[in-house]
Amino acid sequence: MIEAFTEAFGHAPGGVWRAPGRVNLIGEHTDYNDGFVLPFALSRGVSVAAARRDDGMVEVRSRQAGTAVTAPVDGGTVVSENWPPDRAWAAYPVGVARVLREHGTGGASLLIDSDLPQGAGLSSSAALECATALALCDLYGVEIDRPALARLAQRAENEQVGMPCGLMDQSASLLCTPGHALMLDCRSGLSSQVPFDPAAAGMTLLVIDTRASHALTGGDYGRRRAECEEAASLLGVKALRDVRDLAAALETLGDPVLRRRVQHVVTDDHRVEATVGLLRAGALPELGAMLNASHLSLRDQFEVSWPEADATVDAALRAGARGGRMIGGGFGGSVIVLTPADRAQRVRDAIASAYAQRGWTAPEFLEATPSEGARRLS
Ligand code: GAF
């Protein structure tokens, strides 16, 4: 990265920072309902080599995308500037620079490198935001604690990119630790580290990129969020996290769509707590049942699954996996499957052949190890 940066910008960087992508074990579409999530960090992520500059500009280059983008730090919002699709990736680092400017950071030259697949639902955008945020804070000597930095990176995505995401992905990238999943209360921002080591329990957690690419900046994610907010307001609660009596809530709501959304959010919040209980009790293989229940709920109640995800879970279970589910916002992206390690190859083969039978692009497999959160590399 240091040589590549020097070649691109004609001088050495001030440092190199890296932030990981994430897998969410359970608790999907619960973050913007003030609920609970349980993500862990992947070993793959986004690296940013960066140097300060004093002309008030952010210049971003990427080793993956051809176009270099230069924009003023004190511009308005990227979303209102209507950037063309080939510059869309740069909205994340520029957006972060614009938000952090209020906290004392300034212009920078940034070179970005990623080994995370984009559109695979593994949070490459949050990784890019978080690596950029850490780089800018260090370069300008600005101290912001990590939970607060996660909220600022989320704000950059909400306001600058126009994606109404919750707090999960940025928190996962900044707060996760190796060998643990992060139990995050998205209302208070408080979190705890929950031991999660599939290999030690004789299990493998496969991440399967279904190759059905997702783009959450389209309207579906925002619509789900709006439906949840409407349901909360009809139920007279601040957020769906506050629903105490699910049966009574479902009876109150006339609209079957809103009833389905509430059913998912409330039950997935409980599944997060149950999953944390199982992990703390050393019952990791039992997570399979939780993953299956979450997948069915996302498919039938929240209606964000897609055909490749359903076929992946189905093939995995038939081949002897303990459980599986779609992860992330949905409508494309990745699936996780929990399987005894000695059946992992059989499960992979079964999934690959299900895709081949349907004439779909072959899926990509990754064995996930809970890894380190964002950090400075040099
Ligand atoms: C996306 C969003 F960015 C997250 O905030 C979260 O809502 C997730 O979808 C669904 O759980 O990754």
Catalytic one of 169, 209, 268, 269: 169
| Residues paired with 366 in a beta bridge | 207
Q: What's the pLDDT tens digit per position in 172-184?
A: 999 999 999 999 9
Distance linking the first and last C-alpha atoms of the chain:
10
Q: What is the pLDDT of residues 75-92, one digit of tens each?
A: 899 988 888 888 989 999
Question: Do the Cβ atoms of 262 and 249 come closer than 8 Å?
Answer: yes
- 217-221, 247-251, 326-330: which range is least confident on average? 217-221
With 90 as the cut, is the pLDDT of residue 263 above it? yes
Q: Is 165 in the pocket of ligand 1 (CB under 6 A)?
A: yes
Q: Looking at the predicted complex, does its ipTM rise above 0.95? A: yes
Interior CA angle at 175 toward 174 and 181, to 5°? 125
What's the CA gap between 225 and 163, in Å, rounded?
Answer: 11
Q: What is the mean pLDDT of the chain?
A: 96
* Every domain range in the chain assigned CATH 3.30.230.10: 2-195
Look up residue 314 and give its two tokens: 């189905």
Cβ of 328 closer than 6 Å to ligand 1, yes or no, is: yes
Q: How confident is the model at residue 367 (pLDDT cuts 50, 70, 90)?
A: confident
Ligand 1 neighbour 32 (Cβ under 6 A): yes
Please tell me the predicted confidence (pLDDT) of residue 86.
87
For the chain, residues classed under CATH 3.30.70.890 are 199-367
pTM reported for the whole predicted model? 0.96
Q: What is the distance in A from the centroid of ligand 1 to the CA of 216?
A: 9
What's the pLDDT band for 101 if we cut at 50, 70, 90?
A: very high
Task: Tell me how far the alpha carbon of residue 24 lies from the centroid of ligand 1, in angstroms.
Answer: 9
Question: From edge to edge, which strands make up the β-sheet containing 334-340?
Answer: 323-326, 334-340, 203-209, 364-367
The total of other beta-carbon atoms located within 10 Å of residue 193's CB is 16
**Contacts of residue 43, Cβ cutoff 8 Å, sequence gap at least 6:** 20, 369, 371, 372
Give the 3-state secondary structure of residue 169.
Answer: helix
Q: Please tell me the predicted confidence (pLDDT) of residue 71.
A: 97
DSSP letter at 363 equals P
DSSP H or E stretch at residue 46: strand 39-52
pLDDT at position 216 over 70: no
58 in helix, strand or coil? strand
Which pLDDT does position 67 carry in this prediction? Answer: 85
Worst-scoring range by mean pLDDT, 43-57, 83-97, 238-252, 286-300?
A: 83-97
- CB of 31 closer than 6 A to ligand 1? yes
Specify burial of residue 85 (Cβ count, 10 A radius: 0-12, 13-18, 19+). Answer: exposed
What was the pLDDT predicted at 150? Answer: 98
- What CATH number was assigned to the domain covering residues 2-195? 3.30.230.10
Over residues 162-191, the mean pLDDT reads 97
How far is residue 155's CA from residue 168's CA, in Å, rounded to a whole number?
Answer: 12
Q: Read off the pLDDT of residues 223-240 as tens digits, 9 standing for 90 and up.
A: 999 999 999 999 999 999
- Pick the residue with more confidence: 91 or 367? 91
Close Cβ partners of 248 (under 8 Å, ≥ 6 residues apart): none
Residues 6+ away with beta carbon under 8 Å from 373 = 19, 20, 41, 146, 172, 173, 174, 175, 176, 177
**Cβ neighbours around 316 below 10 Å, total:** 29
Say what the pLDDT of residue 357 is: 98
169 is a catalytic site residue: yes
CA nearest to 88, candidates 160, 2, 174? 160
Ligand 1 centroid – CA 207 distance (Å):
17
Q: Which class is 199-367 in CATH?
A: alpha beta
Q: What percent of the chain has pLDDT over 90?
A: 93
Q: Which of 31-40, 57-66, 264-273 has the lowest mean pLDDT?
A: 57-66
Q: How high is the pLDDT of residue 213? A: 76
Helix or strand (DSSP H, E) at 131: helix 124-140
Instruction: Check pocket membership of 169 for ligand 1, CB cut-off 6 A.
Output: yes
Query: Distance from the CA of 335 to the center of ligand 1, in angstroms?
Result: 14
Return d(Cα 351, Cα 370) in angstroms, integer. 23
